[in-house]
Chain A
Amino acid sequence: MFKPHRVVLALLTLLVAIPLVVSAQAPDESTIVIAQSVDVGLLDPSAVASRAEANIFGHLYGTLYEISEDGSIKPYLAKSYTNSEDGKEWTFTLNEGLTCHDGEPLTAEDVAYSFERVANPDNKFTGNSAGFVLPAVGYVGARVEDDLNVTIITDRYQSIGLGLLSEVYIHCKDSYEKMTLEEAGQTPVGSGPYKFVEWVPDDHITLEKVEGFTLRETFFQTEIWRTIPEASTRVAELIAGNVDVIANVPPDQVEAVNASGTAAVQAVAGTRRMYVGFQFGENFKDAPGYEALQKKEVRVALQYAVDVPTICSTLLGTECERASSIVNKPNDNPNLSPYPYDPVKAGELLDAAGYPKDANGVRFETTLMGPRGRYLNDANVVQAIGQYLNDVGVKTTVDIRDWADYSQLTRPKEVGPMFFLGSGGGTWNALYDMADFSAPDSGVNYVNWPNPEWFKLWNSLSDIRDPAKEREVINQMLEIFYNDPPWLMLYFQPDFYGVSSRLDWQARRDEQIVVYNAKLK
């Protein structure tokens, strides 16, 4: 006989009963679980296109050299290198006895193949190696000298060449020749301390320790990289003890994590340079505020208008030092001190520049564009900057777009007259950071900054091989940047990592999550 009451009762009982048989979810002692906010697109070592992918590839693959936490460049798969007289050829000597995860010996031929595969136009690779590293070093080709020696040929000398070449993941020729491009993107055959086990898209990737890999000391047998897009869910999993390491803890949740007792937050001073760009491009000629912002004096005045330390301590949940240039410490110019927050001075300078307040208290109008969903608390930071600018009489309209939308505007340089952006940086070489301005029309010179002195000096750098002389020129350039600022200099983005208290692990400054050195306490 059908009794509606009983059906309801039975279902409710079921719903309550199932939880009672909950099995333990916490990872065991041989497994470390890391949660990232986005999944990888594909697992091809030649097509790395996001931080999330680079983190996993850093465990699957070795590189010739490696940029360590302190910014020094250390041997990895290669044990030494030489740079030719003209600086264009880099010859690496590999460690002996290396193998790829399918057992194939890793030799000079494989290194050459790893570069050639990226460069081959038929493969249609996009991403960091194909889209940035090879063009930036001016890649010409790779030459096998013998089994252990391989030469990478470039078209110019650069002091950042070695660091850039260290971003290319090395893999074996035979393993990859066997696979189609489609297969290669699904079943990576690595050369690093961990090997690939499985990938369930948007769920997790499992890696397993490679026995006999001697170049790195590893502690966990298994690494599970989960994808958890929602920040609150990620933090909840961390506190519940189901996840060991998470990135991007929202600043306001830091306290809750630290109070949990099961996990703590590590705040590190990141290397990403956050700034407000002043657009010099002709296509903004008629935009409000464009004319005012062309004046050096106005751009300097606005540096005083924004209270960066308060933005950091309130919206980013940490103290941060304001940037004095485009370059990360310790490679910056020590003689330059960050602009202080001084709205009165900002007002005076704007008066002097010919922009006094009108009857409504407005000096001039402009628009500040910014993204949402890309950088730490980005939409709020942009709104706060807008408020500060309004407070000194620059009537600012804030225009916030979703990141996918925004990124389509920055590349063709269709953002302005002011816009908020971050640019990934490094600790290992000032020039890496300064490469944002390699030419007035270069792809990443989003503001179209035309300063002729800067670019004259930049071009002179490729003739300088003496580090002290190079340093001198760099300091001179940073001074130019300081006095004719194309950016409203803000801060280096802090990064918040949530780390389980069972773990002995230190987060890095450069946004890379490297966990093979993590161990249990």
Chain B
Amino acid sequence: MTPIAANPPIIAVSLSSPEISTWKRARRSLFKAKWPVLALIILSLVVFMAVFAAQISPKDPNRQNLIDRLKQPMQIDAKTGKIENFLGTDGLGRDLWTRIIYGAQVSLAVGVMAVVVGGLLGITLGIIAGYQGGRVDDIIMRLADIQLAFPFILLAIMVLVVLGPGVWNLIPVLGVGQWVTYARIARGQTISQREKEYVEAARSMGARDIRIMLQAILPNVLAPLIVIASFNVASAILAEASLSFLGLGVPPTVPTWGGILNESRDQILAGKWWPAFFPGLAIMLTVLAINIMGDWLRDFLDPRLRGRG
């Protein structure tokens, strides 16, 4: 039984078909729907921006120019006669476009790495708990309860107050906030897989536990977790923005979307909309795209919902 809250049942899916037809099916299903394609295009662009930031903009994201602060988007520079900062500049005269594409690097990295950290931790503990059962299971599930009873935001504030803001402190904090979800699903899946014939067979042939967990169980619990992971990348990006608001994101010298948005929040009332609008738009579009992809992935992986909607 699950001690505190049960898993949301929507995620109880499994991937059983052979791999090649899966990919074919994925391509077909993806291109049949409009939204996922659009989402994929947006995501690819964002990733492209992040990877080739230095090539896309020759400017330094931290280069200030106080005289040119808060320049409007598309404003033609009096000296050069060209548009120098096509999305305008921020409160320190830094090029907003450059900061946003460099911000994509950090924001995406934080989102993905947080999921990797949380995923590794959660899946490992979940499989161990499900496979071993008994005392080990009890301890891990108690840890999960403690984690859940500790509101994430409080934990995040405390840890970041202690460690200080920074990318490398933020990632484990956001990751630790997620591990329980993965652990519970992995545990549930493991329990149902544990009694399956192929696991029994492996065990009777004298395979070591760790080997069974890695080779027989892990591949079978991954599919539903990938869906959760995609949603969590999105929520990690949003959480970074919230923590920035509380002064606990990353230092202002490192551009992130949440950080840029937060530094510019006083500008909204001042009538300077662009420094708060563009990073906000970047967050919104990216999170939206990830969620649409996640939805599609879930529908696709869930055989009961396949072919509908």
Binding site for B on A (CB under 8 A): 231-232, 235-236, 250, 252-253, 255-256, 307, 310-311, 314-315, 372-373, 379-380, 383-384, 387, 398-402, 404-405
Smallest beta-carbon distance A217→chain B, Å = 36
A255 engages B270 (CB within 8 Å): yes
Report if A372-B266 is in contact (Cβ < 8 Å); known contacts: A256-B271, A310-B66.
no
Query: Which partner residue on chain A sits nearest B162 by CB separation?
Result: A405
B266 engages A232 (CB within 8 Å): yes
**Interface membership of B265, Cβ < 8 A:** yes
Report if A380-B91 is in contact (Cβ < 8 Å); known contacts: A232-B268, A232-B269, A373-B247.
yes
Query: Which partner residue on chain B sits nearest A403 by CB separation?
Result: B247
**Interface membership of B251, Cβ < 8 A:** yes
B270 engages A250 (CB within 8 Å): yes
Tally of contact residues, B, Cβ under 8 A: 26
Closest 4 CB pairs of A and B: A252-B270, A250-B266, A314-B66, A387-B64
Q: A310-B67, A314-B69, A315-B66 are in contact. List 8 more A-B contacts (CB 8 A).
A: A232-B266, A236-B269, A255-B270, A311-B66, A314-B66, A315-B91, A383-B252, A384-B66
Smallest beta-carbon distance B160→chain A, Å = 9
Query: Which partner residue on chain B sits nearest A400 by CB separation?
Result: B251
Q: Which of B39-89 contact A (CB under 8 A)?
A: 62-64, 66-67, 69-70
A384 engages B270 (CB within 8 Å): no
Flag B232-265 by CB within 8 Å of A: 1 or 0 each. Answer: 0000000000000001100111000000000101
A404 engages B64 (CB within 8 Å): no
Majority secondary structure of chain A interface residues (helix, strand, loop or mixed)? helix
Query: Which partner residue on chain A sits nearest B165 by CB separation?
Result: A402
Smallest beta-carbon distance A382→chain B, Å = 9
Flag B264-308 by CB within 8 Å of A: 1 or 0 each. Answer: 011111111000000000000000000000000000000000000
Query: Which partner residue on chain A sits nearest B65 by CB separation?
Result: A387
**Interface membership of B4, Cβ < 8 A:** no
Query: Which partner residue on chain A sits nearest B68 by CB separation?
Result: A314
Query: B247's contact among A307, A315, A380, A402, by CB below 8 Å, is which?
Result: A402
Query: A314's contact among B62, B67, B271, by CB below 8 Å, is which?
Result: B67
With a cutoff of 8 Å between Cβ atoms, the chain A residues found around residue B271 in the complex are 255-256
B92 engages A380 (CB within 8 Å): yes
A400 engages B252 (CB within 8 Å): yes
Smallest beta-carbon distance B154→chain A, Å = 15
Residue pairs across A and B with CB atoms within 8 Å: the count is 70
**Interface membership of B38, Cβ < 8 A:** no
Smallest beta-carbon distance A114→chain B, Å = 36
Majority secondary structure of chain B interface residues (helix, strand, loop or mixed)? loop
Complex CA gap A231/B66 in Å reads: 23
Complex CA gap A232/B263 in Å reads: 12
Report if A401-B268 is in contact (Cβ < 8 Å); known contacts: A380-B91, A383-B64, A387-B64.
no
Query: A399's contact among B66, B247, B251, B265, by CB below 8 Å, is which?
Result: B251
B266 engages A405 (CB within 8 Å): no
With a cutoff of 8 Å between Cβ atoms, the chain B residues found around residue A232 in the complex are 265-266, 268-269
Complex CA gap A311/B92 in Å reads: 10
With a cutoff of 8 Å between Cβ atoms, the chain B residues found around residue A314 in the complex are 66-67, 69
Complex CA gap A372/B247 in Å reads: 8
With a cutoff of 8 Å between Cβ atoms, the chain B residues found around residue A252 in the complex are 70, 91, 266-267, 270, 272
Complex CA gap A236/B266 in Å reads: 11
Pull 21 A–B residue pairs with CB atoms less than 8 Å apart, ordered by A.
A232-B265, A252-B272, A253-B266, A253-B269, A253-B270, A255-B270, A256-B270, A310-B66, A315-B69, A383-B252, A383-B253, A398-B251, A398-B253, A399-B251, A400-B251, A400-B252, A400-B253, A401-B251, A402-B247, A404-B161, A405-B161
Query: A405's contact among B62, B64, B164, B272, by CB below 8 Å, is which?
Result: B164
With a cutoff of 8 Å between Cβ atoms, the chain B residues found around residue A380 in the complex are 91-92, 252, 263
Q: Which of B11-63 contact A (CB under 8 A)?
A: 62-63
Query: B92's contact among A372, A383, A404, by CB below 8 Å, is which?
Result: A383
Complex CA gap A232/B266 in Å reads: 6
Complex CA gap A19/B69 in Å reads: 39
Smallest beta-carbon distance B130→chain A, Å = 39
A235 engages B269 (CB within 8 Å): yes
A402 engages B92 (CB within 8 Å): no
With a cutoff of 8 Å between Cβ atoms, the chain A residues found around residue B263 in the complex are 379-380
With a cutoff of 8 Å between Cβ atoms, the chain A residues found around residue B67 in the complex are 310, 314
Complex CA gap A386/B101 in Å reads: 23
Smallest beta-carbon distance B248→chain A, Å = 7
A231 engages B248 (CB within 8 Å): no
Smallest beta-carbon distance A244→chain B, Å = 19
With a cutoff of 8 Å between Cβ atoms, the chain A residues found around residue B253 in the complex are 383, 398, 400
Query: B248's contact among A236, A311, A399, A402, by CB below 8 Å, is which?
Result: A402
With a cutoff of 8 Å between Cβ atoms, the chain A residues found around residue B70 in the complex are 252
B270 engages A379 (CB within 8 Å): no
Query: A256's contact among B91, B92, B247, B269, by CB below 8 Å, is which?
Result: B269
With a cutoff of 8 Å between Cβ atoms, the chain A residues found around residue B272 in the complex are 252
With a cutoff of 8 Å between Cβ atoms, the chain A residues found around residue B265 in the complex are 232
B161 engages A402 (CB within 8 Å): yes
B165 engages A384 (CB within 8 Å): no
Complex CA gap A100/B62 in Å reads: 57
Complex CA gap A387/B248 in Å reads: 23
Complex CA gap A404/B63 in Å reads: 28
With a cutoff of 8 Å between Cβ atoms, the chain A residues found around residue B266 in the complex are 231-232, 250, 252-253
Complex CA gap A404/B251 in Å reads: 14
Smallest beta-carbon distance B92→chain A, Å = 6
With a cutoff of 8 Å between Cβ atoms, the chain B residues found around residue A373 in the complex are 247
With a cutoff of 8 Å between Cβ atoms, the chain A residues found around residue B164 in the complex are 401-402, 405
Smallest beta-carbon distance B258→chain A, Å = 15
